[in-house]
Amino acid sequence: MEMLKSSSLIELAKEVFQIEADSVLKLKERINDNIEEAISVIMKSKGRVIVTGMGKSGLIGRKIAATLSSTGTPSYFLHPAESTHGDSGIITREDVVIAISNSGETTELLNLLPLIKRFEVPLIVLAGHKDSTLGKCADIYFDISVEKEACPLGKAPTASTTATLAMGDAIAVCLLKKRGFSTEDFLLYHPSGALGKGVLYVVGDLMLKDMSLMPIAHEDDTFLETVDLISKKKLGCALIVNNEKKLTGLLTDGDIRRILLRYPDVSVLRNKMVMTNNPKTIPADAMATKALAYMEKYSITSLAVCDEENHPIGIIHIHDLLRAGVA
């Protein structure tokens, strides 16, 4: 067996990336009304999307089914070999079938056609040959053909499976957008692990809401009084309100340092003279990830949480987000 040099292996790996990337990019030229038709058919369906495929196509089909299910489209993978031994009973007249076969002539898939046609189930086919048996039977056809596989032998499904997966992702993402699938919806399907962490909480779940612990001062309070308040409450800031108890300003530890350097006599200062006006705020029903994004964007460590009339009802600190695993 010929031994490849390290440099040759590097070039071979790069060639694999190029072949597969080109195969995926060429799919853009084949997207037309078929994507709109597929999305419309699936959206109108009262059942599930049944994805089926053999071998490597089946493995890709499992991933497509999983992606669909996790983004709001109930989906199930049906192994076509098992389907002829009773499993085809999961297909109902309310479903949509997505069949995957590069050749379009996979025997196990062809065996499903009588049932699909008898039930008048919409058939979406992802195949490499439109004039194949599956291609001719498709209600909606997606061309996932590739010029060549990345495998030097031209045998192992490589570029073709990558292209198929990308097409499946395109369908899933279009469905997600069409359904208006939100971050909150995503949480329902991913309550655990890294995916769910970021959407597990809203600001109201994590903020300090005990008003007795809140560092709230009035515009006319003296600067030194507010410094003392900040020290006692230990949150690194004070929320400044007016006579209507609406938030009008903010004083932070950083502000205090700058004020001490700027003014020779701070004893005469009132909050409204030195506070940061119109500070950034966030509503209690905002996602915790949005609070984190605000903090990162404006380089701040805490946010005032206000109601619709701009009354402070809480404060959220970056440490709260860190403890909750949001950051």
Quick one: which H or E segment has residue 259?
helix 253-262
CATH architecture entry for 6-181: 3-Layer(aba) Sandwich (3.40)
Residue 82 has phi, psi (to 5 degrees) of: -75, -25
Residue 293: other Cβ atoms inside 10 A: 12
Of the two residues 90 and 248, the one the predictor is more confident about is: 248
CA angle 214, 312, 274 (to 5 degrees): 80
* 286-311 pLDDT tens trace: 988 889 888 989 888 899 999 999 99
Report the phi/psi class of residue 271: left, alpha or beta, with left for phi > 0 and alpha for psi in -120 to 50.
Answer: alpha
Of the two residues 144 and 287, the one the predictor is more confident about is: 144
* 191-244 pLDDT tens trace: 555 555 555 688 999 999 999 999 999 999 999 999 999 999 988 899 999 999
Amino acid at 208: L
Of the two residues 17 and 71, the one the predictor is more confident about is: 17
- CB-CB contact of 247 with 306 (8 Å): yes
pLDDT band at 258 (very low <50, low <70, confident <90, very high): very high
> Nearest to residue 72, comparing CAs of 173, 166, 169, 199?
173
- Mode of pairing for the β-strands spanning 140-143 and 123-127: parallel
Here the tokens at position 307 are 């109601």
pLDDT band at 183 (very low <50, low <70, confident <90, very high): low
Q: What is the pLDDT of residue 194?
A: 53
Q: What average pLDDT does the segment 272-295 reach?
A: 92
What global pTM score does this model have?
0.62
Q: What is the pLDDT of residue 1?
A: 43
Q: Work out the percent of the chain whose per-residue pLDDT is above 90.
A: 70
What gap in Å lies between CA 93 and CA 188, rounded to an integer? 28
Task: Report domain extents, the chain.
Answer: 6-181, 203-324
Judged against a pLDDT cut of 70, whether residue 37 lies above it is answered with yes
End-to-end CA distance of the chain: 51
- CB-CB contact of 140 with 45 (8 Å): no
Burial of 256 (0-12, 13-18, 19+ CB in 10 A): buried
Q: What average pLDDT does the segment 135-154 reach?
A: 92
* 41-65 pLDDT tens trace: 999 999 999 999 999 999 999 999 9
Sheet holding 302-306, edge to edge: 281-282, 302-306, 312-317
Domain 203-324 falls in which CATH fold?
A: CBS-domain (3.10.580)
